[in-house]
Chain A
Amino acid sequence: MWLMICSAQDTSALWAYQGLLARGLHPLELVTAEMLTLNAKWEHTVGVNGANFNVTLADGRVIDNRLVSGVVNRLTHVPLDHLAGAPDFEYAQQEYSALFMSWLKALPSPIFNGVQSHGLSGAWRHVSEWVWMAAQAGLPTPSYQQSSHDGIDESQQLRRIVPAGTPTTMVITLGDRVFGPNMPAQIGNGCKELARISQTPLLGIELTVGQAHVPWSFAGATPMPDLRLGGEPLLDELARRLYVNRRRSN
């Protein structure tokens, strides 16, 4: 089986789920974050036989990592609304998050994207780290400034590299392929290199376009791009890459 793991509100993932089904990826199980916390029965083991899990969802489906052929993972958080107000709510939140980190780690490849120590579906990096990394990858980058006297509350407002209103476009990398508008080879190669060094095979990269002297420049990155921007070609490639391990399917 293959897994599409996402929030129930992730319309981009739901679109991809339908598209992958249409491409013959079967059985492809849609597993939402909500299903994983509401009346699911968990059995996760780590030891001499490696890491395994067996999750029985409330609807009776059983997810066993040994039967999984590939995964699209877009989990960002652990929804525990049903425990809100409980005296140990914050503790439960920490525990569930730690459990999710571990069972996602036990999922077999290919996985787009795998859990990292700083994010359930790929590392969530601060914009300063992305811009630093983009330069290492060979992408043109604007200068970035941050200081103790900035008026930004990052819990409310994301920092941006480019001023609000700057026209940008999003490209999506999937392994060694780049999906988006036509771009110079140097930019395409830089995008692929950024995906590689950030260990985020499915990466959304925002680029500024159309400026007079620097036609293309890095403007941001996310491990959770809107997959619809990659269109049908992205889904074709995603299906192809997921299908590699089809023999493990039941």
Chain B
Amino acid sequence: MILLCGIPTETPIALVREALESNGTRYVVLNQRKYASMKMSLEIRAGKPSGKLQLNGDSYSVDDFTGVFTRLMDYHHLPELQNAPADSPDLKFCCNLFDTLTRWAEISPARVVNRVAPMGSNFSKPFQAQLIKRYGFEVPETLITNDPELVRAFRARYGRVIYKSISGVRSIVQTLTDDDMTRIDNIRWCPTQFQAFVEGTNVRVHTIGDKVFATAINTEATDYRYAKRQSGDHAELREVELVDDLAEMCVNLAAGLGLAFAGIDLKITPENDVYCFEVNPSPAFSYYESQTGQPISRAVAEYLSGQ
């Protein structure tokens, strides 16, 4: 049986649920917003985890779950808890409930998409870039500094330069402009990440187990996720086929990072050099599936089912 954790109306969860329905796989939905009706216990004895999960009025042994798809949101942001005081019993209960669930998923023998620990590499882009390089991908020339002079020299050397956050927050990629340079001294307060712009075609690759789905994105925007805002037009997405060795590199990269499911952001230059910018451990694949019809959710459902 498959356990789906999160908000059932969120599109990726809804798509995986639909795919599980289609292939006749048994599943149960853990709707975070219904936390008040849940209970969970975990026991580890001689290295073997066991436990019970009560939800929707039923009780399950955690051993029943052979696959877990989790897109849990921070429970502090659940509508039911938004105005809860810090010492609210509901907050404390949710903390213990979702912690117990997460702790079990981290060590469970089930197929878990994805475990929390390996997702941590995405917290620091240059940290992750150092891992990415080991798998044969190019990474863009990157400078992180709080010294404006070094930024001027970097820009003089590479011409078009972009900047973005080092961590995962406020991660909108922007081109560094002359106007930005007038306030470059502000970086003295906090080191900032700059990268040489790479010309080429953006390709998002979703890997699930050893299956690969590649989507090319055509846009004039610096950050295709914000194409309408940055260029005035929506990005155009189309399915593409990767050459075998590149597909294998993507599978190896995701596996090496410990991610059963990953969204890998590539740029392929006119010279066919392959740059990798980031590996997203919780990809919002529904955007790509809805634009191209690629059966990503079906592949996730099959992976969870052990197929």
Contacts and interface: CB of A to CB of B under 8 A. Distances in A.
Interface stretch (B6-14, B63-71, B98-106, B238-246): B98-106
Interface string B145-173: 11100100000000000000111111000
Given A126-B106, A147-B41, A141 B126 contact: no
Interface in A72-121: 83, 86, 88, 91-92, 94-99, 101-102, 105-106, 115-118
Contact of A98 (B38, B43, B125, B142): B125
Given A92-B190, A95-B166, A147 B100 contact: yes
- Interface of A, secondary structure class, is mixed
The residue among A48, A98, A123, A134 with the most chain B CB atoms within 10 A of its own CB is A98
B255 to A, nearest CB: 15
- Interface of B, secondary structure class, is mixed
Contacts of B92: 153
18 contacts: A43-B143, A45-B144, A46-B130, A47-B142, A83-B189, A91-B169, A92-B189, A94-B169, A99-B124, A101-B123, A102-B166, A129-B107, A132-B107, A143-B43, A144-B44, A145-B41, A147-B42, A148-B39
A47 B139 contact: yes
Interface in A122-137: 123, 126, 128-129, 131-132, 134-136
B302 interface: no
Given A42-B191, A50-B133, A146-B103, 6 more contacts: A95-B166, A95-B167, A99-B144, A102-B144, A135-B47, A136-B47
A41 to B, nearest CB: 5
A149 interface: yes
A45 B39 CA distance: 48
B120 interface: yes
A154 B103 CA distance: 13
